[in-house]
Amino acid sequence: MVKLLIVEDEDAIAIPLVEGLTREGYEVDRVASGQEALDAPEPDVVLLDLRLPDMDGYAVCRILRERSSVPIIMLTARGHETDRVLGLELGADDYIVKPFGLRELVARVRAVGRRARSLEAERPVAVVGPLQVDSRSRRVRLGSEEIALTPKEFDILALLACDPGAVVTRETILEQVWDTQWHGPTKMIDVHVASVRRKLGDPRWVETVRGVGFRIGVPE
């Protein structure tokens, strides 16, 4: 059974969520503060509100991401693009703006797990020069060093690494990694690619093909 952790201090929002997600077959725990979220046993997915009584939800996201690859879906009333981009930069996997329906939330939770399972099945191990991407363990090694990536960063890198040198379009990345055919701005892809480049230590690992997408290659 998939375990969810809801981080929400407002009972009027949290209680219906717990009841609805439990009816959908999930094992659901709820906490009402950032510190409780950080102290809780690691779930399969975190549903994280941004306005918490003791600390900002962004800070909770950052701390969780530093120590874990658990998928994080932000639940918030903040719908501006800058808020979404900040959440993605800190390692969130998805961002849903209140008010939202239970069906939409369940679809997002399912998509997180479906993307991970799909990538693991299609690309168990990819090798690009000294770079190894193991989708079974969701680990990345560059030479002898293990590189810590967020779930979205890993999924993008695994998608690129399955066919080194081939250009992967932005549309394909959205469909495979975000499970969507969104036709609006794709800045969230650039945010994650920039983070992957930084963590790999050389921006040439991921080349931008202007107007099309990205491809992976060994820096010369």
Strand partners for 27: 3
Residue 135 — very low, low, confident or very high, per pLDDT cuts 50/70/90?
confident
Residues 166 and 91 in one domain: no
Residues 92 and 131 in one domain: no
Is residue 116 predicted with pLDDT exceeding 60? no
Residues 26 and 99 in one domain: yes
Is residue 165 predicted with pLDDT exceeding 90? no
* Contact present, 126 and 132 (Cβ < 8 Å): yes
Indicate the length of the chain as a whole number.
Answer: 220
> What number of H helices and E strands is found in the chain?
8, 12
Sequence-distant (6+) residues with CB within 8 A of 63 are 38
The domain total for the chain is: 2
Which pair of tokens denotes residue 183? 């036709």
Between 171 and 185, where is the model more confident? 171
What's 79's domain CATH number?
A: 3.40.50.2300
Distance CA 130, CA 148 (A): 16
Residues 52 and 134 in one domain: no
Among the candidates 116, 145, 164, a domain finishes at 116
What's the predicted TM-score (pTM) here?
0.60
| Predicted confidence (pLDDT) per residue in 41-56, tens digit | 989 899 999 889 999 8
Residue 94 sits in which domain range?
Answer: 3-116
